[in-house]
């Protein structure tokens, strides 16, 4: 399927989901759906660097929060329409991603991962000490009551996040199928051999970090409007770091489908759990699922499905089963 066709199909699907939520008549679905869509963007973004290139980012919360605080900072200057916030959030986070990548991507993956942790803390400390955006006291962003033609403002926010989700999934798919996607895969498989084969690994890694950071920043930009009162502890919350890693790993890291599945499954599970149990227990579940999948099902849900398909017997000759002759295509 060509990418522009794919994009349109996704938009249509998004429209259907929106209509379904409308039909259900309860604004709660928009609030919950917003969070799930946000995680679609975050996990897809994480996977571009983590799943495709093999570089683990523990600081997703930092990029997310940067997007949110860019909105706050600009709101203090002069309130802007959210799409503008989204663009700015993406630019700021993208630039920071580029900068951090430049500092640390020449080193091993493990050092990069630790550096992302460091970045998250440094950024949080900076924000906590920056009174212009409220510091540790927090910042209020008044959400408008309604906006035409949506009515309740949350529907508008939901639509924006839906567009971001469609956009990020399309970007991921385009990358996967392009020369860039092949390059990323070689970085993940064997960076040394990639260099020897002519792949400019540093440049590609920087591209991945920038795109990944930018998308996360875009996901964070509307957040202050969603939550109304932004505090560093909520913007830099650990759940963003864990979920953006758990969702792709559980869904499957090798393609755009994985983070989508992971975000929808895990995100919905958490929304249900938060309502029925406590939010701490629901985070615990995420933690256990992450560890469990990483140990037992390293290729995630996609991998499990593949295994099931490949081992399905298709017939018998005498007493022997013939295994499905699945070409061992690259996962």
Could you tell me if 261 and 251 are in contact, meaning their C-beta atoms sit under 8 angstroms apart? yes
Quick one: residue 10, left, alpha or beta (phi over 0 = left, psi -120 to 50 = alpha)?
alpha
Query: Least distance in Å: CB of 160 to another protein?
Result: 30
User: Are 103 and 129 within 8 A, CB to CB?
Assistant: no
**Three-state SS at 139:** strand
Please enumerate in sequence order all residues whose Cβ is within 8 A of that of 86, keeping only pairs 6 or more positions apart, or say none: 67, 160, 164, 218, 221, 222
Three-state DSSP class for 321? strand
Rounded distance, CA 248 to CA 320, Å? 38
d(CA 299, CA 253): 7
Query: Per CB under 8 A, which of residues 87..106 are in contact with another protein?
Result: 103-104
229 touches another protein by CB under 8 A:
no
| Of the candidate residues 142, 288, 311, 324, the single one contacting another protein (CB under 8 A) | 288
Part of the chain binding another protein (CB under 8 A), chosen from 9-17, 34-42, 50-58, 256-264: 50-58
Both tokens assigned to 105: 């991507």
Distance CA 228, CA 58 (A): 26
Distances (CA, A) of 232 to 62, 72, 79, 129, 130: 10, 12, 20, 10, 11
Cα separation, 210 vs 206, in Å, equals 6
x/- contact string, 127-166, with another protein (CB under 8 A)?
-xx------x------------------------------
Say if strands 146-147 and 151-152 run parallel, antiparallel, or are unpaired: antiparallel
Within its chain, how far is the Cα of 238 from the centroid? Answer: 14
How many residues of this chain interact with another protein, rule: CB under 8 A? 68
Closest distance of CB 277 from another protein, Å: 11
- Using CB under 8 A, pick the residue from 28, 182, 272, 322 that binds another protein: 182
Q: Does 265 bind another protein (CB under 8 A)?
A: no
Q: Is 118 in the site for another protein (CB under 8 A)?
A: yes
Report the nearest approach of another protein to the CB of residue 237 (Å): 11
Q: Assess 195 for contact with another protein (CB under 8 A).
A: yes
Region from 33-41, 69-77, 114-122, 312-320 binding another protein, contact rule CB under 8 A: 114-122
Any idea what DSSP says for residue 78? Answer: -
Residue of 76, 137, 179, 312 that binds another protein (CB under 8 A): 179
One residue of 37, 82, 115, 160 binding another protein per CB under 8 A: 115
| Strand 139-140 relative to strand 229-230, pairing | antiparallel
Residues 8-47, mask of contacts with another protein (x by CB under 8 A):
----------------------------------------
Chain residues that interact with another protein, rule: CB under 8 A: 50, 54, 56, 58, 103-104, 107, 109-111, 113-115, 117-119, 121-122, 124-126, 128-129, 136, 179, 182-183, 185-186, 188-190, 192-202, 238, 241-242, 245-246, 249, 253-254, 280-281, 283-284, 286-288, 290-291, 294-295, 298, 327-331
């Amino acid at each position: 399927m060509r990418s522009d066709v794919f994009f349109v199909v996704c938009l249509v699907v998004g429209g259907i989901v929106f209509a379904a939520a409308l039909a259900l008549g309860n604004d709660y679905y928009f609030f919950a759906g917003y969070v799930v869509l946000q995680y679609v963007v975050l996990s897809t973004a994480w996977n571009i660097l983590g799943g495709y290139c093999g570089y683990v980012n523990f600081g997703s919360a930092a990029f997310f929060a940067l997007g949110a605080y860019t909105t706050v900072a600009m709101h203090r200057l002069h309130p802007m329409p959210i799409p503008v916030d989204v663009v700015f959030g993406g630019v700021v986070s993208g630039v920071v991603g580029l900068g951090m990548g430049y500092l640390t991507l020449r080193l091993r993956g493990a050092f990069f991962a630790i550096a992302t942790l460091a970045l998250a803390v440094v950024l949080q400390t900076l924000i906590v000490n920056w009174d212009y955006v409220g510091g540790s006291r927090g910042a209020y962003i008044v959400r408008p009551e309604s906006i035409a033609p949506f009515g309740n403002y949350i529907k508008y926010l939901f639509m924006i996040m839906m567009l971001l989700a469609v956009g990020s999934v399309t970007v991921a798919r385009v990358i996967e199928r392009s020369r860039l996607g092949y390059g990323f895969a070689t970085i993940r498989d064997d960076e040394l051999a990639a260099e020897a084969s002519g792949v400019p690994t540093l440049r590609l890694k920087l591209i991945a970090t920038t795109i990944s950071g930018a998308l996360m920043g875009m996901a964070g930009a509307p957040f202050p409007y969603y939550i109304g009162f932004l505090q560093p502890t909520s913007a830099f919350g650990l759940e963003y770091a864990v979920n953006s890693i758990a969702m792709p790993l559980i869904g499957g890291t090798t393609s755009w489908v994985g983070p989508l599945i992971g975000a929808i499954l895990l995100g919905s599970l958490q929304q249900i759990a938060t309502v029925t149990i406590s939010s701490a227990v629901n985070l615990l579940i995420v933690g256990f699922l992450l560890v469990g999948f990483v140990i037992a099902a390293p290729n995630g849900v996609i991998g499990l499905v593949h295994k099931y398909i490949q081992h399905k017997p298709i017939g018998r000759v005498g007493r022997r089963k013939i295994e499905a002759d699945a070409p061992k295509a690259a996962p």
